[in-house]
């Protein structure tokens, strides 16, 4: 079985413009380019049907593209904020608790009986200096 030839849009436009300029007839263009006259007539019909679309503003396609761009910009902003938050080290408050809510010295096995367990870092240090 013979493989179907495929023509580029630029080639089709060139052939149709030859017809529209009047330099060639359909039969002449068909012989020169070895294409059936019916195919060239179809190309010309499609070209003329879609010619008005060149001058129309594509609001549907443009609106969808703008909406997609806005969505992507919002996503980029969120990811940038998340990245900046992940880069910053957790801050300590005056009572020894970090921004995660965990206090220094808590959760250590055997620390419950030690003096200053559960207190802030400064108080623990002061207790150790006073005791020593």
Paired with 71 in beta bridges are: none
**Average pLDDT, rounded, for the chain:** 78
Share of the chain above pLDDT 90, in %: 45
Question: Which pTM value belongs to this model?
Answer: 0.44
Residue 93 Ramachandran class (φ > 0 left, ψ -120 to 50 alpha, else beta): beta
Query: Which letter does DSSP use for residue 101 in this model?
Result: S
User: Where are the domains positioned within the chain?
Assistant: 9-54, 57-86
pLDDT band at 63; cut points 50, 70, 90: confident
Q: What's the Cα-to-Cα distance from 115 to each of 25, 84, 102, rounded to whole Å?
A: 104, 38, 19
Looking at residue 65, its pLDDT comes to 84
Residue 102 in this model has a pLDDT that exceeds 80: no
> What is the model's pLDDT at position 29?
94
């Amino acid at each position: 079985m013979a493989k179907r030839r495929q023509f580029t849009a630029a080639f089709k436009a060139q052939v149709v413009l030859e017809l529209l300029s009047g330099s060639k007839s359909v039969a002449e263009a068909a012989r020169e380019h070895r294409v059936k006259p019916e195919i060239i007539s179809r190309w010309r019909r499609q070209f003329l049907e879609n010619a008005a679309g060149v001058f129309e503003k594509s609001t549907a396609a443009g609106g969808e593209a703008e909406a997609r761009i806005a969505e992507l910009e919002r996503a980029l902003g969120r990811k940038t904020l998340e990245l900046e938050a992940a880069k910053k080290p957790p801050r300590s408050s005056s009572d020894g608790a970090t921004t995660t809510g965990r206090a220094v010295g808590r959760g250590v096995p055997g620390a419950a009986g030690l003096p200053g367990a559960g207190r802030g870092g400064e108080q623990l240090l002061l207790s150790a200096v006073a005791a020593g």
